[in-house]
């Protein structure tokens, strides 16, 4: 009932505002309308244009409505699930996808084909599936379970059959929570854990590096979570929105021994991941844990294989010179519809 009242109040206030702001242009439309305008539909078009021009646009108002819906109704919008204690979760991890089984089967085929392609280049492949936030912090969902995450966990059977590649399982001993409250990504504790775990899988395969890496920690800064942005809560009054989180600035200072900058060889490790590889200081932690420079070709929004496919298709020369490729991807991407790049790759290998 409260939600109905809130919606009606917003609609009524919006109608009043449109009538006040747009009475002049609406009146002009009515004065100049002819019978021909009514017959051919131009009248409706002119009314629509006048109303659209009169609609008030205010980020403060939008933020207020989002904040009230979130704080009073537990509603964070269609793309975000509001959990307990200001925890937010992406609906991509929680909703049931159409053709989920078929998409996972397609990803299993892609997995084998991509692993074979990397192996053919003479490069070692290390695969890093990123667990769902919903699964790792399930107790903060409040009212539902991470059922879709457990469905995707069946893919570990496929990963367990991989030959010629190393699969890093980040679920074991995960430092909970390890994720930001208002963001889909690892927090800095989770990013550091992931970096150190992956570095352990890489380090014993390589000779000592010609460079040294020092991690420099800077000041603490406020972080705006991507889920808070999707919910419209970044514009809500502070009392109605989740409290901002804090992260520390990080920089990896790399010192190379001998030679001119132009003589520096390409890094022998390539990181082809998703936005997880580009957030929360993971890249800096990873280079520091390895004590060597890493080539970053990760692709935000690349889903399951976007960055790796781009590496294979447009940077094959760099791939052939590398000794290790880290392929990181979020588990939630397993059930997404295939991208055009993924479809094209499958056509070539079938």
**What pLDDT, in 10s, does the model give residues 118-169?**
999 999 999 999 999 999 999 999 989 999 999 999 999 999 999 889 999 9
Q: Tell me, what's the pLDDT at 209?
A: 73
Q: What is the pLDDT of residues 244-259, one digit of tens each?
A: 999 999 999 998 765 5
303 falls within a domain: yes
pLDDT of residue 320: 84
- In a domain? residue 239: no
Pair 83, 63 in one domain: yes
| Shared-domain flag, residues 293 and 167 | yes
Q: Identify whether 94 is part of a domain.
A: no
Domain check: are 24 and 108 in the same one? no
pLDDT in the model for residue 317: 82
Tokens coding 340? 């055009």
Has residue 84 been placed in a domain?
Answer: yes
Q: What percent of the chain has pLDDT over 90?
A: 68
Residues 6+ apart with CB under 8 A from 253: 213, 214, 215, 216
Q: Of 20, 54, 89, which closes a domain?
A: 89
**Chain CA centroid to CA 93, Å:** 11
Number of domains in the chain: 2
Residue 138 shares a structural domain with residue 53: no
Domain boundary among 36, 56, 89: 89
Q: pTM of the predicted model, to two decimals?
A: 0.82
The answer on 108 and 55 residing in a single domain is no
Would you state the pLDDT for residue 281? 97
Indicate whether 251 and 117 sit together in one domain: yes
Q: For residue 38, what pLDDT is reported?
A: 46
In terms of residue numbers, what domain contains 35? Answer: 2-89
Q: Quick one: pLDDT at residue 62?
A: 81
109 alpha-carbon distance from chain centroid: 23
Report strand pairing: 88-90 vs 80-82: antiparallel
pLDDT of residue 22: 44
pLDDT tens digit string along 83-93?
A: 999 999 999 99
| The last residue of a domain, from among 89, 122, 152 | 89
In a domain, 296, yes or no: yes
C-alpha pair distances (Å), 90 with each of 170, 189, 201, 289, 318: 20, 20, 30, 30, 35
Please give the pLDDT value at position 259: 53
- Does 181 share its domain with 311? yes
**Per-residue model confidence as pLDDT tens digits over 281-301:** 999 999 999 999 999 999 999
Same domain, 198 and 286: yes
Cβ-in-10-Å burial (0-12, 13-18, 19+) of 341 comes to middle
Is 212 a domain residue? Answer: yes
- Please list the rounded mean pLDDT of every run of 10 residues in the chain (350 residues): 51 48 51 51 51 58 86 93 97 95 97 95 96 97 95 95 93 95 98 97 80 92 95 93 95 76 76 97 96 94 95 86 95 97 94
Instruction: Clarify whether residues 256 and 142 are in a common domain.
Output: yes
């Amino acid at each position: 009932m409260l939600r109905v009242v809130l919606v009606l109040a917003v609609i009524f206030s919006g109608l009043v505002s449109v009538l006040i702001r747009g009475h002049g242009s609406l009146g002009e439309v009515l004065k100049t309308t002819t019978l021909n305008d009514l017959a051919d539909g131009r009248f409706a078009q002119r009314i629509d244009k006048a109303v659209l021009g009169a609609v008030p646009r205010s980020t403060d108002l939008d933020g207020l409505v989002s904040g009230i819906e979130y704080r009073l109704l537990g509603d964070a919008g269609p793309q975000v699930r509001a959990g307990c204690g200001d925890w937010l979760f992406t609906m991509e991890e929680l909703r049931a996808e159409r053709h989920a089984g078929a998409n996972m089967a397609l990803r299993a085929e892609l997995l084998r084909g991509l692993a074979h392609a990397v192996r053919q280049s003479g490069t070692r492949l290390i695969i890093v599936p990123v667990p769902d936030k919903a699964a790792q912090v399930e107790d903060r969902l409040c009212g539902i379970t991470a059922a879709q995450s457990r469905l995707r966990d069946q893919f570990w059977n496929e990963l367990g059959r991989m030959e010629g590649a190393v699969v890093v399982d980040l679920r074991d001993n995960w430092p909970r929570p390890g994720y930001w409250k208002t963001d889909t990504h690892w927090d800095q504790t989770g990013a550091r854990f992931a970096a150190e775990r992956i570095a352990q899988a890489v380090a014993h395969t390589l000779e000592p590096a010609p460079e040294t890496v020092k991690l420099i920690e800077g000041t603490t800064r406020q972080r705006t979570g991507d889920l808070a942005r999707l919910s419209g809560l970044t514009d809500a009054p502070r009392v109605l929105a989740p409290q901002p989180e804090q992260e520390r600035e990080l920089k990896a200072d790399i010192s190379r021994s001998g030679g001119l900058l132009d003589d520096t060889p390409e890094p022998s490790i390539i990181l082809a991941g998703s936005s997880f590889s580009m957030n929360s200081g993971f890249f800096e932690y990873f280079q520091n844990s390895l004590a060597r420079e890493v080539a970053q070709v990760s692709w935000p929004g690349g889903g399951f294989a976007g960055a790796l496919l781009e590496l294979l298709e447009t940077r094959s020369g760099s791939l052939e010179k590398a000794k290790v490729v880290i392929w990181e991807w979020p588990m939630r991407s397993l059930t997404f519809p295939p991208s055009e790049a993924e479809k094209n790759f499958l056509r070539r290998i079938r």
